Amino acid sequence: MSTNILTTQQIFSKLQEYLNTNAIQAFRDEFLEHHIYDQSQYYLDFTDEERLELYKFLSPQELSEIFENLDFDEVDISPYLKEISPEYLSTMFDEMSADNAADILTNLTKRERRAIFAQMAPEKVTEIRNLMHYDEETAGSLMTTEFVAVVANQTVKSAMTVIKATAEDAETIYYVYVLDQNKQLLGVISLRSLLISHDDTLISDIVNEHIIKVDVDEPQERVARYFRDYDLLALPVISHDNLMLGIVTVDDIIDVIDDEAQSDYSGLAGVNTDNVNQSPIESAAKRLPWLVALLFLGMGTASLIDHFDGLVSQASVLAIFISLITGTAGNAGTQSLAVSVRRISINDEENKSFFSLIMAEIATGLVTGAVTGLTIFTVVSIWKGNVMLGLAVGVAMFCAITVANLAGSLIPVGMSKLGFDPAVASGPFISTMSDITSVFIYFSIAEIFISFI
């Protein structure tokens, strides 16, 4: 979709050349032409030396826009900050919107921050300091304090003047918030409705008081859900005494939805899929902790089978169905896990009771277990011409699946009740867990039937 004839790679090499030949004007002409996102990508790709040049070529103002655009979940920002002079940084943060400045500054030590704050506009520092106090992943940590506010007894005309005056700095001017003299939030007006209203209409006549707002400590998933359900561009954030603190804008919410999805997905697979462009060694290093941990959990299963070794040597036919039962139970457990995690994240505000969630999954387990158990009973009885063996395997399958469903829901629900993110409970973990119980169930039942097998 690029509008340039040159490929990104060609542009990049050209920019590098300008940096290395100290061609300031040529660099600025080319570089600043591009969208901030592309600028930020180039910035990250430059070598350390080239970046040191770049800081001479670009104003703190220009760099601030690049930093506003960087995604801090994917980039570790601190090394970049450390290579920039505190003077330059303080000017840069003065230019930057307070919320992004706060996000970036959390990557620095207290001392480093103090050095920068010392040379910044005091009111900006207070603003940033306040934002840095909010818990991560809450409305407060997402919000910006740069919004447009008017009062109820203003006219549309005067409101428009306010908007034009603040348009440069405000994060969005498309929603205008109506506050009373105590900064209490009364309502909202879209720029759209301002534009189609008469100049001398009173704000109080067109304000929408049915406003959707979030508390400053509301979790970001729920904030995201409001955006999705109500098709918002921005959402006001209020303190517990209804003081308007700031706004969350839709561009930040898209990143939230993205990250939440990413972490749910990573959790389910038992591997962090955030950065997929890694060398095989890096990827392996990322996956091995889970694998090896689960390997030792799996050793539990092995030693359990070992414990039933006598049984197996008596009827080696039993060995045939070990992986079938553990595998199927594992699959059922993974399904149950995925549904439970999703169910929790959707029902959180309705706050479904612990037990209703668990009971639903057990019931589902009983049904799926019954059908699957019956199927395998039939298959095995016919295949091995041994109804008793079929019965043992079928019953074992039935129990193993029910237990796997229980585990698949119990673990995420338990975690969320304990205040952890249920999404980190991984599929591999559940299936390895259920291996142990499945094997135990299988052999315990087999022991009963052994005389007939």
Contact stretch for a second copy (CB under 8 A) within 58-66, 151-159, 198-206, 289-297: 289-297
Least distance (Å) between residue 280 CB and a second copy: 3
Q: Does 295 bind a second copy (CB under 8 A)?
A: yes
Contact 445, 392 (CB under 8 A): yes
Residues between 409 and 428 that touch a second copy (CB under 8 A): 427-428
Q: Does 220 bind a second copy (CB under 8 A)?
A: no
Interacting residues of 145 by C-beta distance below 8 A, sequence separation 6+: 98, 99, 127, 130, 131, 245, 246
Nearer to a second copy, 21 or 378 (CB): 378
- Can you tell me the distance from the alpha carbon of 331 to that of 328, in angstroms, rounded to the nearest whole number? 5
Contact stretch for a second copy (CB under 8 A) within 47-55, 58-66, 125-133, 369-377: 369-377
Nearer to a second copy, 61 or 323 (CB): 323
Q: Which long-range contacts (CB under 8 A, 24 or more apart) does 103-109 make?
A: 103/72, 103/141, 104/67, 104/72, 104/77, 105/132, 106/132, 107/72, 107/76, 107/77, 107/78, 107/81, 108/78, 108/81
Q: Does 118 bind a second copy (CB under 8 A)?
A: no
Least distance (Å) between residue 370 CB and a second copy: 9
Q: Does 261 bind a second copy (CB under 8 A)?
A: yes
Residues between 221 and 250 that touch a second copy (CB under 8 A): 226-233, 250
Q: Does 309 bind a second copy (CB under 8 A)?
A: yes
Q: What is the total residue count of the chain? A: 453
- Can you tell me the distance from the alpha carbon of 290 to that of 288, in angstroms, rounded to the nearest whole number? 5
Least distance (Å) between residue 314 CB and a second copy: 9
Least distance (Å) between residue 109 CB and a second copy: 29
| Residue 43 CB-half CA count within 13 A | 27
Residues between 1 and 40 that touch a second copy (CB under 8 A): 1, 3, 33-35, 37
Nearer to a second copy, 60 or 428 (CB): 428
Q: Does 52 bind a second copy (CB under 8 A)?
A: no
Q: Does 210 bind a second copy (CB under 8 A)?
A: yes
Among 59, 78, 126, 273, binds a second copy (CB under 8 A): 273
Look up residue 347 and give its two tokens.
């029902």
Q: Does 258 bind a second copy (CB under 8 A)?
A: yes
Among 46, 55, 88, 290, binds a second copy (CB under 8 A): 290
Least distance (Å) between residue 435 CB and a second copy: 5
Q: Does 312 bind a second copy (CB under 8 A)?
A: yes
Q: Does 404 bind a second copy (CB under 8 A)?
A: no
Interacting residues of 217 by C-beta distance below 8 A, sequence separation 6+: 134, 135, 138, 139, 140
Residues between 319 and 358 that touch a second copy (CB under 8 A): 319-324, 326-328, 330-332, 334-335, 337-339, 342-343, 346-347
Q: Does 449 bind a second copy (CB under 8 A)?
A: no
Q: Does 142 bind a second copy (CB under 8 A)?
A: no
Least distance (Å) between residue 76 CB and a second copy: 19
Q: Does 255 bind a second copy (CB under 8 A)?
A: yes
Nearer to a second copy, 116 or 391 (CB): 391
Q: Does 211 bind a second copy (CB under 8 A)?
A: yes
